[in-house]
Structure 1
Amino acid sequence: MPLHVPPAPAPALRTVLTALGSPTAVREARTPSLRNTQGPLTPDLPLPVHVLDRVAPVGTSATRLTGWRFLIRCHERAVAAAETRLTPDGHAFSHFFEGPYVTATERALRQAETMPGSYQPRLLSVPELYMLTLWLHGDFPADGAGGHLAATDLLVPLAPAPPGIAAHRPHRAADLLPVLTHRLTPKSVPAPAPLLGSPA
């Protein structure tokens, strides 16, 4: 399917380019692959990062934009990622990082390109479950900063996914959100039985 990657806000891209051009920022990053890379580093595939603060049924699950994430490429290979955050003054560089979510994001995007339909790719974080998904939003002309999670949107959990949730398997939001809600519902603990000889 064609993926319609939303354009990143120019200030967000500028902050990443400035950080990449700063030897101090790159040297102090906890990303050996970024520090040890030989060749030009370029930000690519900007994805808006939304957070699902409270898991609820589709239509009532509010997401909020927290920033933008860029894959950092060197010679056509993603070696790290850079994240910006929204502040009261606009976009600010947050940090570089590497690890499984970088390769998982690339894999999920390649997987999404083979699916039928047209979508806008985003990232959706579920902090309560330490879970990150590729959010394939059906309203692909929409502004990447806004929009609601629709029942027919697809969510692809990235690896590592929470136990019992298959990574890299696309789910309709209407099907996955009830599973997440069940995971987050506190289990009722039965009251202990009274001891024999003790007052009830």
Structure 2
Amino acid sequence: MPLHVSPAPAPALRSVLAALGSPAVREAHTPALRSVQGPLSPELPLPLHVLDVRDPAAPPSGGPRTRLAGWRFLIRGGERPVAAADTVLTPDGWTFSHFFEGPYLASTERAVRQAESMATRYQPRLLSVPDLYMLTLWLHGDTGADPATGAPAPADLLVPLAPAPPGIAPHLPYRVADLLPVLTLRLVPPPLLESTA
């Protein structure tokens, strides 16, 4: 079934289109973006959420706490994504933040294609776990939900993008209920042993 990709806020899209038509493209630290001949187009807008399983203000139910960090667009030049553009919410509204490139571009596109072939319909989002240098495609089961809010539900799927942390297979869908405990164990330091002396 196809994914239910939510539209990005119009000002976020406009800010990326303006950046693509400005000197920011030539000044970007993205050689692939600077070298493209022909038009560039922003595609596949995904809300980018950040997860912190150690957050002391986490809900008492022990569920994960997330916050919207921005919207990310893949920038296509010809047949492939050549860069990504992030936007952030400021007091003045959505604005372009920066262009970047790297392995997560192809990995995001691969994970989305993989999710499109699943039998269940999902709302795709990105979920970052900064303390593990980890990015996942978050497949949210409620396709009508506001893409800017909410936390991963136990039955939602997380598809780690490559490169993934050691011991976590990239491009393998994990239920949140299965992967979140593994992430929590990696993020929470072990308790200090008391000295018997």
Superposition TM-score, scaled by structure 2 size: 0.92
Trace 1:119-198 onto structure 2 (pairs within 5 A): 119-190=122-193
Does the aligned pair in 2 maintain the 1:120–1:140 contact within 8 Å?
Answer: yes
Which secondary structure does the structure 1 equivalent of 2:44 belong to? Answer: strand
2: distance between equivalents of 1:29 and 1:192? Answer: 53
Q: How many percent identity over aligned positions?
A: 72
2: distance between equivalents of 1:104 and 1:93? Answer: 23
Q: Which residue of 2 aligns with 1:30?
A: 29
Does the aligned pair in 2 maintain the 1:59–1:148 contact within 8 Å?
Answer: no
1: distance between equivalents of 2:48 and 2:62? Answer: 19
1: distance between equivalents of 2:29 and 2:142? Answer: 36
2: distance between equivalents of 1:174 and 1:191? Answer: 32
Shift of 1:188: 3.6
> For residues 70-112 of structure 1, what are the alpha-carbon distances to aligned partners after superposition, in whole Å with 9 as ceiling and x for unaligned?
0001123111110001112211111001110001100100111
Shift of 1:185: 2.0
Q: Select the structure of larger CA radius of gyration.
A: 1
Give yes or no for the alignment of 1:113 onto 2:148: no
Which secondary structure does the structure 2 equivalent of 1:165 belong to? Answer: coil
1: distance between equivalents of 2:124 and 2:157? Answer: 10
Amino acid at match of 1:85: V
Mean Cα deviation higher: 73-82 or 4-13: 73-82
Structure 1 residues 54, 192: CA separation in 2 closer, same or farther (over 3 Å shift)? same
2: distance between equivalents of 1:147 and 1:59? Answer: 14
Does the aligned pair in 2 maintain the 1:124–1:132 contact within 8 Å?
Answer: yes
Trace 1:38-57 onto structure 2 (pairs within 5 A): 38-55=37-54
2: distance between equivalents of 1:107 and 1:126? Answer: 20
Mean Cα deviation higher: 149-158 or 51-60: 51-60
Amino acid at match of 1:33: A
1: distance between equivalents of 2:13 and 2:177? Answer: 33
Task: State the superposition RMSD in angstroms.
Answer: 1.7
Shift of 1:171: 0.3
2: distance between equivalents of 1:148 and 1:186? Answer: 23
Amino acid at match of 1:10: A
Does the aligned pair in 2 maintain the 1:59–1:150 contact within 8 Å?
Answer: no
Does the aligned pair in 2 maintain the 1:122–1:136 contact within 8 Å?
Answer: yes
Does the aligned pair in 1 maintain the 2:138–2:157 contact within 8 Å?
Answer: yes
Superposition TM-score, scaled by structure 1 size: 0.91
Does the aligned pair in 1 maintain the 2:53–2:184 contact within 8 Å?
Answer: no
Q: Which residue of 2 aligns with 1:20?
A: 20
Amino acid at match of 1:100: P
Q: Which residue of 1 aligns with 2:106?
A: 103
Flag structure 1 segments of 5+ consecutive residues without an equivalent. 194-199
Shift of 1:69: 0.3
> For residues 136-176 of structure 1, what are the alpha-carbon distances to aligned partners after superposition, in whole Å with 9 as ceiling and x for unaligned?
00001112111221000000000011111111110000000
Which secondary structure does the structure 1 equivalent of 2:139 belong to? Answer: strand
